[in-house]
C-alpha cells in the first residue's frame, strides 16, 4: 500500500529538481540565437563596406564581430580585418602617388587593390577617372590614338553612365582620325577638259582633211574632166598643185588625229572612273590588343 505512494513522491521530487535545469537550457538556447543574429548583422555590414572599397568602415564592423560573446576568436573576422588593413595601406599609397603626379605608380597600387578585392567599387571609380583625365589631356594635345587608348581602358572600370560618355569621346576620335580624301573636283574638271579638247581638235583635223580632199576632187574634175592626167592650162595647173599640196599636208596630220582620239578616249575613261568610283579609306594596320599581363596593352602591326 505504501509502495505506490512512495513511487509517486519520488517522481514528484525528481520533477521539481529537473524543472530549473530545463528552464536554464531553454534560456541558453534563446541567448545563442540572439548572439548569432548580432554577429551576422555586423558581418553583413562589413562585407557590404568591403565590396564598396570602404575598408575603414568594414574593419570597424569586423571588429564588432569579435566583440560578440562566443566569437572573440572568429577566423573570418580576423582575416577580413587584416585585408582591410592592407587595403587601407594600398589606397593611401595610391592617393599619395596621384598627388605626386606618379600616375603609373598609382595604377600599380590600384591593381594590387583589385587583386586583393576584385569587387572594390571605389578603386574602379578612381581608375576610370584617372584614365579619363589622361585621355582628355592627350585629346587636347591632339594625340588622338593615345587618347582613344586611355578612354578604352577607362571603360573597363567605368559605370554605365560614364561608359556612354567615353563611347562618345571614342566616336569623336574615330571621326577626327578617319582618312579624308579630297573631292577631286579639280582633277575631274581637268580630265573633262582634256577629253573635250582632244576630241574637238581631232574633229577639226578630220574636217580639215575631208575639206581639202573635197576641194582637190572638185579642182581635178574641173581642170582634167577626162581624167587623162594632163592639164594644159598653166593657171589651172597651179590651182591643182596648191589643192594637192594642201590635201597632202592635211593627210600628214593623220597621226596627230589618231593621237588626239587616243587622248580623248583615255581622258573620257578617267572621267567616268572618277565619277563612278569613290576612294575607300584604308584600314589602319595598327591594332590594339589586350596584353598577356593584367595591366597594359600590346601593339601589333599588320603588313
Same-domain pairing of 145 and 102: no
Whether residues 190 and 172 fall in one domain: no
pTM: 0.53
The answer to the question of residue 13 being in a domain is no
Q: Confirm if 291 and 284 have CB atoms less than 8 A apart.
A: no
Q: What is the CATH number of the domain that holds 46?
A: 1.25.40
pLDDT of residue 248: 78
CA dist 149 and 299 (Å) reads 11
Whichever domain contains 159, its CATH number is 1.25.40.10
Do 139 and 208 belong to one domain?
no
Query: DSSP character for 291?
Result: -
Same structural domain for residues 192 and 141? no
Q: Are residues 194 and 241 in the same domain?
A: yes
Whether residues 202 and 129 share a domain: the answer is no
**Residue 3 forms part of a structural domain:** no
- CA-to-CA distance for 51 and 43, rounded, in angstroms? 12
- 66 assigned to some structural domain: yes
Lowest-confidence range among 35-44, 159-168, 205-214?
205-214
Provide the pLDDT for residue 54. Answer: 96
Query: Could you tell me if 141 and 70 lie in one domain?
Result: no
Residue 27 has pLDDT above 50, yes or no: no
Report the alpha-carbon distance of residue 286 to residue 284 in Å, rounded: 5
Q: Which residues contact 106 (CB under 8 A, 6 or more apart)?
A: 94, 95, 97, 98, 130
Burial of 113 (0-12, 13-18, 19+ CB in 10 A): buried
Q: Residue 56 domain-assigned? A: yes
Q: Rounded to whole angstroms, what are the CA distances from 141 to 102, 134, 146?
A: 20, 11, 10
List pLDDT tens digits, range 60-108: 999 999 999 999 999 999 999 999 999 999 999 999 999 999 999 999 9
Say whether both 113 and 27 belong to one domain: yes
> Same domain, yes or no, for 88 and 149?
no
Task: Examine the fold and report which residue of 176, 202, 222 is the final residue of a domain before the chain moves on.
Answer: 176
Residue 113 domain-assigned?
yes
Q: Do residues 27 and 107 share a domain? A: yes
Overall number of domains in the chain = 3
Domain hosting residue 68, numbered range: 18-117
* Conformation bin of residue 124: beta by default, left when phi > 0, alpha when psi is -120 to 50: alpha
Asked if residue 60 and residue 92 are part of one domain, the reply reads yes
Q: Is residue 7 part of a domain?
A: no
211-216 contact pairs (CB < 8 A, 24+)? 211/250, 212/243, 212/246, 212/247, 212/249, 212/250, 213/247, 213/250, 213/251, 215/243, 215/246, 215/247, 216/240, 216/243, 216/244, 216/246, 216/247
> In this structure, is residue 149 part of a structural domain?
yes
Angle 46-47-52 (CA atoms, 0-180°, nearest 5)? 100
Do residues 198 and 264 touch, judged by C-beta distance below 8 A?
yes
Residue 255 lies in a domain: yes
Q: Which grid coordinates belong to 191?
A: 580630265
154, 176, 198 — which closes off a domain?
176
- pLDDT digit string (tens) for 177-233? 988 766 566 666 777 787 788 778 777 877 877 787 788 677 777 766 766 667 667
Inter-CA distances, 26 with 16, 32, 68, 111, 250, Å? 16, 10, 20, 52, 132
Report d(CA 126, CA 133) in Å as an integer. 11
- Please name the residues in contact with 137: beta carbons below 8 A apart, sequence gap of 6 or more: none
Residue that wins the pLDDT comparison between 111 and 201:
111
Is 209 found in the same domain as 132?
no
For residue 125, give the nearest of 169, 166, 164, 158 by alpha carbon.
158
Q: Which of 117, 147, 163 is the last residue of a domain?
A: 117
Amino acid at each position: 500500500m505504501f509502495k505506490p505512494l512512495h513511487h509517486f513522491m519520488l517522481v514528484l521530487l525528481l520533477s521539481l529538481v529537473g524543472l530549473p535545469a530545463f528552464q536554464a537550457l531553454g534560456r541558453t538556447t534563446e541567448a545563442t540565437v540572439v548572439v548569432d543574429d548580432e554577429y551576422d548583422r555586423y558581418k553583413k555590414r562589413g562585407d557590404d563596406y568591403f565590396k564598396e572599397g570602404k575598408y575603414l568602415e568594414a574593419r570597424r564592423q569586423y571588429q564588432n564581430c569579435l566583440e560578440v560573446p562566443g566569437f572573440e576568436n572568429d577566423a573570418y573576422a580576423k582575416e577580413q580585418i587584416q585585408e582591410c588593413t592592407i587595403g587601407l595601406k594600398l589606397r593611401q599609397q595610391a592617393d599619395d602617388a596621384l598627388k605626386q603626379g606618379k600616375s603609373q605608380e598609382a595604377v600599380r597600387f590600384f591593381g594590387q587593390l583589385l587583386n586583393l578585392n576584385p569587387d572594390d567599387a571605389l578603386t574602379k571609380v578612381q581608375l576610370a577617372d584617372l584614365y579619363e583625365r589622361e585621355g582628355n589631356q592627350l585629346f587636347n594635345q591632339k594625340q588622338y590614338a593615345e587618347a582613344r587608348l586611355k578612354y578604352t581602358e577607362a571603360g573597363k572600370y567605368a559605370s554605365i553612365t560614364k561608359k556612354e560618355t567615353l563611347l562618345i569621346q571614342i566616336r569623336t576620335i574615330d571621326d577626327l582620325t578617319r582618312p579624308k580624301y579630297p573631292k577631286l573636283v579639280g582633277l575631274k574638271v581637268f580630265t573633262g577638259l582634256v577629253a573635250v579638247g582632244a576630241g574637238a581638235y581631232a574633229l577639226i583635223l578630220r574636217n580639215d582633211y575631208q575639206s581639202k580632199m573635197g576641194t582637190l576632187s572638185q579642182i581635178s574634175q574641173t581642170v582634167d574632166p577626162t581624167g587623162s592626167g594632163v592639164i594644159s592650162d598653166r593657171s589651172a595647173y597651179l590651182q591643182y598643185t596648191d589643192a594637192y599640196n594642201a590635201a597632202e599636208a592635211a593627210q600628214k596630220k593623220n597621226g596627230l588625229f589618231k593621237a588626239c582620239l587616243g587622248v580623248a578616249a583615255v581622258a573620257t575613261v578617267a572621267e567616268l572612273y572618277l565619277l563612278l568610283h569613290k576612294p575607300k579609306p584604308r584600314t589602319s594596320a595598327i591594332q590594339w590588343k589586350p596584353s598577356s599581363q593584367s595591366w597594359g596593352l600590346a601593339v601589333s602591326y599588320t603588313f
